[in-house]
């Protein structure tokens, strides 16, 4: 059996590995270099604190892989488990936190609902008077997405997968109502199954099959800053949910600052969006972070920055499904693709080979859910 995987980001290489582990012959196609799209521009967050059970289950299935990555793949991805700290400014957000914590704990997540004072004990520079509640899980954290791509890619190759870079997919081949291969810049490749792991480009991949996927590319920016007073390296990744702001330590005395304003960014052309840092956006992000912590007071310097793409669906959940006979999609993670890659890769391999995924609730991630406007929306986004 032969599978073609379209996309060489973290989800694509993890999928290539999952299929190769099932003794499928795999050809992965990436038009650039592995991991140089959205994966390379990720903040690397790994967390279990989501607002819907299916996202929590994807996290719980992925977390053991991240925690034992060096043992499994012989690559140290720098997984710093300093926790995630979510902050609520309003009673409405705090009530949502309380409901989510009950659900998360019921699924086995070691998460706590905290007072502002308790949150400040974990993040000493926090301006606790800005908030009414917080949540925290010490097993959450962040890792290096680029090193993770290298680990999955090397392991996939060891199992016989062919990972081809500099090769773009131009079309899908359809015979008898089934996708049977792809047309590339280097010719046709026949396959028993084609896996669409193209991230922000995934919606375009399915066009030749006569399908439409509501995956919108949205630009997100990260700034690297150097606080004049320094910043502790063991702080959690801290998110002000109501302000749409987050920060985390990055190396010695620097931090990543990101998030988004209250208004949603418009869709962008994934092939023609600005990848460099917008100075005004970076200043705005820094001002939002400075409002609720003391770490960015005084002489904080912008060092560098970049922008990448979220592949966003209307409900902020991924699409994991057989989109058309022989064509499978694992995309639309809405900024959560890195952390959910191990579980999502396993799920799409199971759907393709076994007919269904083993993780409970994954069947709800098919694209036909968008026919129902009353489905759950992931609230814990950053």
Q: For 332-345, what is the mean pLDDT? A: 97
Domain that holds residue 16: 2-47+145-214+314-371
% helix, strand, coil for the chain, step of 5: 35, 30, 40
Given 312, 329, 351, the domain boundary residue is 312
Judgement on whether residues 137 and 257 belong to the same structural domain of the protein? yes
Judgement on whether residues 220 and 210 belong to the same structural domain of the protein? no
Is the pLDDT at 379 greater than 90? The verdict is no
Interval 288-320: pLDDT, tens:
999 999 999 878 999 999 999 999 999 999 999
Q: What is the pLDDT of residue 382?
A: 65
Q: For 129-155, what is the mean pLDDT? A: 97
Confidence bin at 380 (pLDDT 50/70/90): low
Judgement on whether residues 204 and 227 belong to the same structural domain of the protein? no
Judgement on whether residues 116 and 207 belong to the same structural domain of the protein? no
Judgement on whether residues 220 and 293 belong to the same structural domain of the protein? yes
Judgement on whether residues 166 and 237 belong to the same structural domain of the protein? no
Would 378 be classed as within a structural domain?
no
Q: What is the pLDDT of residue 372?
A: 76
Q: What is the pLDDT of residue 263?
A: 42
Q: What is the DSSP string of 162-227?
A: EEEES--EEEEEEETTEEEEEEETTEEEE-SEEEE--GGGHHHHTGGGT-----EEEEEEEEEEE-
- CATH number, domain of 154, equals 3.50.50.60
Mean pLDDT, rounded, of the chain? 94
Give how many domains the chain has, as a whole number: 2
Would 54 be classed as within a structural domain?
no
Would 67 be classed as within a structural domain?
no
Interval 49-65: pLDDT, tens:
999 999 999 999 999 99
Confidence bin at 261 (pLDDT 50/70/90): low
Confidence bin at 228 (pLDDT 50/70/90): confident
């Amino acid at each position: 059996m032969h599978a073609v995987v379209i996309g060489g980001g973290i989800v694509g290489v993890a999928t290539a590995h999952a299929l190769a582990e099932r003794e499928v012959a795999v050809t992965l196609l990436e038009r650039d270099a592995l991991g140089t799209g959205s994966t390379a521009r990720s903040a690397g967050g790994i967390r279990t604190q989501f607002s819907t059970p299916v996202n929590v289950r994807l996290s719980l299935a992925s977390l053991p892989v991240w925690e034992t990555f060096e043992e499994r793949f012989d690559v140290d991805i720098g997984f710093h488990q300093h926790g995630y700290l979510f902050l609520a400014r309003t009673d409405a957000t705090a009530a949502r936190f309380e409901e989510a914590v009950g659900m998360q704990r019921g699924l086995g997540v070691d998460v706590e609902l905290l007072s502002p004072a308790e949150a400040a004990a974990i993040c000493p520079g926090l301006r606790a008077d800005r908030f009414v509640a917080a949540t925290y899980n010490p097993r959450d954290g962040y890792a290096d997405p680029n090193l993770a791509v290298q680990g999955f890619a090397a392991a996939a190759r060891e199992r016989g997968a062919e990972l081809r870079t500099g090769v773009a997919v131009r079309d899908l081949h359809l015979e008898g109502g089934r996708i049977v291969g792809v047309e590339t810049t280097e010719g046709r490749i026949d396959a028993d199954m084609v896996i669409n792991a193209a991230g922000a480009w995934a919606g375009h991949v399915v066009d030749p099959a006569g399908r439409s996927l509501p995956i919108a590319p949205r630009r997100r920016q990260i700034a690297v800053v150097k606080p004049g007073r320094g910043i502790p390296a063991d702080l959690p990744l801290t998110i002000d949910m109501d302000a749409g702001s987050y920060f985390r330590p990055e190396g010695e005395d620097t931090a990543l600052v990101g998030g988004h304003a209250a208004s949603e960014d418009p869709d962008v052309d994934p092939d023609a969006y600005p990848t460099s840092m917008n100075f005004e956006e970076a200043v705005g992000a820094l001002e939002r972070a400075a409002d609720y912590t003391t770490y960015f007071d005084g002489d904080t310097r912008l060092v560098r920055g970049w922008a990448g793409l979220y592949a966003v669906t209307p409900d902020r959940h991924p699409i994991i499904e057989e989109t058309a006979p022989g064509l499978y999609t694992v995309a639309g993670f809405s900024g959560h693709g890195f952390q959910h890659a191990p579980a999502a890769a396993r799920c799409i391999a199971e759907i393709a080979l076994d007919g269904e995924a083993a993780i409970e609730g994954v069947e709800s991630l098919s694209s036909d859910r968008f026919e129902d406007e009353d489905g759950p929306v992931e609230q814990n986004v950053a």
